[in-house]
Amino acid sequence: MRTTLKKWGNSQAIRIPKTIIEKARIKENDQVELNVVSGNIVIQPIKKHKTLKERIEEYNGDYRCSEWESGQSVGKEIL
């Protein structure tokens, strides 16, 4: 996909198409890091730690806990 570098104040800007934003799993106001690697501009999202509230909001109810075997007792475990 191609785009054009445009003047924006004293800087330059590009518009990033929606499909690219979605594939990168970033959204408006997310922070990104800009680097130059071998002459290429690399834009990387800054991954932030999710709060418990954010994790709960993403939960869709499909997890079912179950027991698992952890091997033979080796000490004074309570079963």
For 18-33, write each residue's pLDDT tens digit.
999 999 888 888 999 9
Is the pLDDT score of 76 beyond 90?
no
Region 49-75: mean pLDDT is 84
Does residue 16 contact residue 6 with C-beta atoms inside 8 Å? no
In the chain the domains, ranked by start, together with CATH numbers, are 6-58 (2.10.260.10)
pLDDT for 44 equals 92
What pTM, to 2 d.p., does this model score? 0.52
